[in-house]
Structure formats: structure tokens, C-alpha cells
Amino acid sequence: MATTLAYRAYAKINLYLDVVKKRRDGYHNIETIFQSVGLADELSFSEERSQISLSCSMPELATSDQNLVMRAANLLRARTGCTAGVRIELTKNIPIAAGLAGGSTDAAAALVALNRLWELGLNRPQLHQLATELGSDVPYCITGGTMAATRRGEDLQSLTPLPLTWFVLIHPDVTVSTARIYASPRLSFTSEKPFAGRTPAFRRAIRRLADGDVAGVLFNRMEGAVFADRPHLAELKDRLVEAGCTNAAMSGSGATVFGVCASRRDARRVAEAFSDCRTTIVSSVPASIEQI
């Protein structure tokens, strides 16, 4: 009987996101604080003799070799010489191109699950190295939780986990191209210079988070470029605060905006004010990937 493994792959939000500079390779150095939240895709991995296949509950999501999950599976086989196959079924709950790392967390789940299913024996640093080849958020998604990240987002440091914290996510019916935002002339950069790898503002944000001030940490440099083209996203952010959130921000390059709430009850009350939008009430979770 073929073995099947099942995993949840959780979304992330950026509590803090600053853009430091453009790199010579065309990418950008950033400073960010990632946090996993309780909105998850579900993936099952079933043994096959040699073929790799992917099916998805969301028809508009391509399941070809360009999909990050397929790329993760093919990369594992290329690096290890494994010839085993797998049938992957993806139930998609995280919106696409929404700043929540849905594709990245699915790819990370594939690396972790297939390492086990195919009995490859790779350790966490080896999986992390493979993840860097797939995308800037994938290394974080191997572990998840509360983490600070620099460079492209792959230089990671675990932070003190958040106490249980509630968020309301607003999912506008638009997608945002991260590459387009990074290329936007409206994208600004921090004026601060890093020392020992971090700017003073980033150090202050990490200290503030350690003191429990989640709302006071929220910041996203990309909002200026995104909101210039999509002012309704700025309006949604303002509405979150007006509805009772202690603060609000955009996640990643958007389009998801989120607010911090003092309790689950407050989060429910805030969500009720957004009957015109798709909303999700989530709490902080300690990891990106969970076997089920």
C-alpha cells in the first residue's frame, strides 16, 4: 500500500518590512519580521513509482513544472539523484499573489514532506539551502514562526515567539506583482545605513516586539508604491483601524492588508464591519508547516 503524507502549509504576514537598497544582481535587500498565521493550504503526498504530478483545487493555478511545488520536487530529485515519484494534491486556501507567501509555504512543505517520503535524510540546513534556490520567502517557510530576516529575506534569526495574537486579514479581489512594485519609481528606500547588518530602525522594531508591542511594530515601506496605484487598499487599511484594530498594515507587496486585534472577540467585531470584503480571522501560529 502506497504511503501518503499530509501537511498544512501556513501563510505569513510581514509585521515589519523595509527596503534597504537595490543589489547588483537586480534583487533588493530588505529588513523584515515574518509571522506565521493560521490560514493554511493543505497538501497530500502519495508515493508513485517515478512520475511527479500535481493537482490543485484552484483551477486558475498552473500545475506545470513552473509551479513552485513542482519546482521543489524536481529540485530535490536533481540534487539527490532520487528517482521516486509522487502524486501531490493541493487544497488552496491562501489567496494567490496576495503577499502571504502561499506559493512559498507550499514549496517549503513539499521539501519537508518529500525529504521524509523519499527517505532522503537531508537536515534542516540542507533543506534551507535548497529553499534559497526556489524563492526569497521559501527559506523562512521551512521553519516559520516569528523571525527577523535580512538580505533578500533568506538571512534569518528566530525571535521570541509572539504570545497568542489575533489578526483580521482583508483579501481584496486584486493581485499585485511583486516584481512590478520593486521596479516602481514610487518605491522608496530607507535613509538609514545598516551597521552590523541592521539599521537602527530595524533594531528598534525588534526590541519593541520583544516588549510585546505588536501594534507598534507594524510598518511596510512598500505601501507607498502600492497605494499610489491602488488607493482603495489604503482605505481598507484605514477602515481596519476605524473598526477597532490597534494598528494595520499591508503584508509583503500586497494586496492583503491586516489589522492587529486585542482579542478574538474584537477580531470578530472588526470582521463584521467588512461585509463587502473577503476576510479571515487568524491567530499567530508557531510554525509554517504542520503534519496532519
Which residues are known catalytic residues? 12, 137
User: Cα separation of 219 and 120, whole Å?
Assistant: 40
- Residue 196 burial (CB < 10 Å; 0-12/13-18/19+)? exposed
CA 50 to chain centre: 31
Q: Max alpha carbon distance in the chain (Å)?
A: 59
Contact (Cβ atoms closer than 8 angstroms) between residue 90 and residue 43? yes
What is d(CA 203, CA 183) in angstroms, rounded to the nearest whole number? 27
d(C-alpha 211, C-alpha 185), whole Å: 36
Cell 539527490 belongs to residue: 80
Cα 255 to Cα 62, 141, 147, 209, 262: the distances in Å are: 20, 20, 22, 24, 23
Residues 6+ apart with CB under 8 A from 123: none
Residue 153: name the closest of 10, 20, 290 by CA. 20
In one-letter notation, the amino acid at residue 12 is K
164 burial type by CB count under 10 A (0-12 exposed, 13-18 middle, 19+ buried)? exposed
